Amino acid sequence: MRSRWSYVYFAFYLLLGVVLLFLNNDLSKAVITLMNVIIVLVPLIGTIFGVMYYYNSQEFTELLLAQPIKRSSIFLGQYLGVALSLSMSLTLGLGIPFVFYGLFESSAIWDFSLLLITGTFLTLIFTALAFNIALSNENKIKGFGYAILLWLFLAVIYDGLFLMTLIFFEDYPLDKVSLIGTMLNPIDLSRTLILLKLDISALLGYTGAVFKQFFGTSFGLIVSFVMLTVWVVMPVLRIVFKSKKKDF
């Protein structure tokens, strides 16, 4: 099950990369378009795959649990199996067409590797979140529902609320609020991270000293990566914790 779907996933990214390059004829422009795709699709696919995989292999998992294997290694193994194969598909699927197109001679290589790194992070994060949801919900339909809702919330609704907050409190200094708001959502964080690397960083620095300090230096980059790592570690810890206590 897993391997077949990851081939499909791989083929999808391969096709996407080829088509983008074919249409754009320009590496750096393709990177920008790709960013939009990665930020929306990668979390969605990570979430759905995570939930789907968990529910599908539930019986097998129960069988495994009867064996003398540590629970944490069963579940972490499952999680890593899904997350890493998805990341592999993403990296190879997008990487191959770009490499053939002459990525290594292009200045876009850093932007592109950043794109793949954030893509991988997002896969890790959202697969972990999906596993958490699946672990907490026996009911498949509910689990799927929550997973999709989570994605919808972080990808779309969060930004809406965020925007409303900013507009509502526009009379106050908002530099810090907006930075913190970004940090709290992995999708926003990845988006900002990629924007930082593209030339738009100066545009982001257009307002306020805090912005400028944050976006203008490598400090922002480091903090963002630390936050992304936290976003991976937290749900993974919960998987371990939850799986130890759960009754099957």
- For residue 39, the tally of other CB atoms under 10 A from its CB is 20
Q: How far is the CB of 212 from other proteins (least distance, A)?
A: 7
Question: Residue 175's closest CA among 202, 230, 215, 226?
Answer: 215
25: left (phi over 0), alpha (psi -120 to 50) or beta: left
Q: How far is the CB of 164 from other proteins (least distance, A)?
A: 10
Spatial contact of 232 and 218, defined as CB atoms under 8 Å apart: no
Q: How far is the CB of 119 from other proteins (least distance, A)?
A: 16
Q: How far is the CB of 187 from other proteins (least distance, A)?
A: 8
Q: How far is the CB of 16 from other proteins (least distance, A)?
A: 17
Residues that bind other proteins (CB under 8 A): 29, 32, 35-36, 39-40, 155-160, 162-163, 166-167, 170, 174-175, 177-179, 181-182, 188, 191-192, 195, 199-200, 202-208, 211-212
**Residue 81 in 3-state DSSP?**
helix
Can you read off the two tokens belonging to residue 111? 């932007």
> In terms of CB distance, is 111 or 191 closer to other proteins?
191
Q: How far is the CB of 236 from other proteins (least distance, A)?
A: 26
> In terms of CB distance, is 137 or 182 closer to other proteins?
182
Can you read off the two tokens belonging to residue 210? 């805090």
> In terms of CB distance, is 10 or 215 closer to other proteins?
215
- Residue 243 to residue 248: CA distance in whole angstroms: 10
> In terms of CB distance, is 162 or 225 closer to other proteins?
162
> In terms of CB distance, is 100 or 219 closer to other proteins?
219
Helix (H) or strand (E) holding 137: none
183: left (phi over 0), alpha (psi -120 to 50) or beta: alpha
Spatial contact of 74 and 242, defined as CB atoms under 8 Å apart: no
> In terms of CB distance, is 72 or 207 closer to other proteins?
207
DSSP state of 156: I
